[in-house]
Every structure is written in C-alpha cells, then in structure tokens.
C-alpha cells in the first residue's frame, strides 16, 4: 500500500501546487523513507519557491524524483542528498549519492540500446524549464546530478484573473 501511495504521489503531488516545491520535496523524502532503507537527506532553501514559476517547480520536482529513484534502484547507496538553492540568477537542484557510481561516457554511448529513458527524461525536463542537467559520476565514487534552471517569475494568478475580465 505504501508503494502504491508513493507512486500516486509522484504522478501528481498535490502539495506541489498548494504548498510549493520545498514542501513537496520534504514529503518526497518522508515517503521515500517509508519504502527504502537508503537515507534521504534534504537541504532546501525555502526562498527558492518564490523564485520559480509553477511549471518550473514541477519540472524540478520530477527531475529530483527521477534522480532519487534511479539512485535507489541502481547506486547501491547508503545515503542520497537532495540540495536546492539559489546561485546567482539560477536555481540549482542537486541529487548526490554515495553509491557505486558509473562511467558516464560509456553509459551514454550505449544508452539507446538499453531501452531506458531515465537519463533522457532528466535532460529533457530541464530543457523544458530552459535549464540543463549535468551528470558527474565515476565507478566507485558515487553520482551527482546537477540541474540548473533560470529564475522565472512566478505567475500571480490573482492578477491574471482580474486582467482577463472585461471592464476592469
């Protein structure tokens, strides 16, 4: 039951829309701990929520969720760290593990033949948010996925509704 609830949460985390990205990542960490022996650490700057539009928050959340799932499945890690912070005019999300690592160049060279879309999804979601994904890893040294997206003005939905009404 916990695994099904975890899947439903990751498909549509309502908390992301109601309370923001940091709250959604906190809930992701809690749900992850319920279904995994790997310790998931979260270091998140709460100010990031005010720096990103709703769609960008969603992209960052899904990238982080996919990266933590990949680490849980493949890294044989004891710990995974999620970090979320502002750097200049960007928001940075990092997912790092202390697992077995891998050869990034070799993995990318034969990726098409593996039938897996995880890493492609990470990059494509970042591109949709006008950002980029960089993967650092080597055998025996763990993995660090860094997602950088530009600060985007959050939409003020209240103002948009007033502007659309005729005569106002």
What Cα–Cα distance (Å) separates residue 64 from each residue in 18, 58, 105? 19, 10, 21
Whether the per-residue pLDDT at 159 is higher than 60: the answer is no
Which two structure tokens, joined as six digits, stand for 59?
């992209």
Cα–Cα distance measured from residue 113 to residue 134, given in angstroms and rounded to the nearest whole number:
21
Helices (H), the chain: 2-11, 14-19, 21-35, 54-70, 104-109, 118-128, 157-164
Residue whose C-alpha is closest to residue 73's, from 105, 38, 41: 38
Residue pLDDT, tens place only, 16-34:
989 999 999 999 999 899 8
User: Average pLDDT, stretch 104-131?
Assistant: 80
Residue pLDDT, tens place only, 74-106:
999 999 999 999 999 999 999 999 999 999 888
């Amino acid at each position: 039951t916990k695994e099904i609830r975890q899947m439903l949460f990751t498909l549509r985390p309502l908390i992301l829309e109601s309370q923001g990205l940091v709250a959604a990542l906190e809930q992701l960490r809690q749900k992850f701990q319920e279904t995994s022996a790997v310790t998931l650490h979260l270091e998140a700057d709460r100010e990031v929520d005010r720096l990103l539009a709703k769609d960008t928050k969603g992209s960052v959340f899904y990238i982080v969720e996919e990266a933590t799932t990949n680490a849980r499945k493949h890294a044989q890690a004891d710990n995974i760290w999620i970090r979320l912070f502002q750097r200049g005019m960007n928001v940075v999300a990092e997912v790092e593990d202390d697992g077995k690592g891998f050869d990034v160049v070799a993995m990318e060279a034969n990726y098409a033949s593996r039938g897996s879309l995880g890493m492609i999804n990470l990059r494509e979601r970042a591109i949709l948010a006008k950002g980029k994904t960089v993967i650092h890893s080597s055998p025996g040294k763990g993995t660090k996925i860094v997602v950088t997206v530009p600060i985007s003005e959050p939409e003020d939905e209240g103002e948009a509704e007033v502007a659309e009404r005729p005569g106002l």
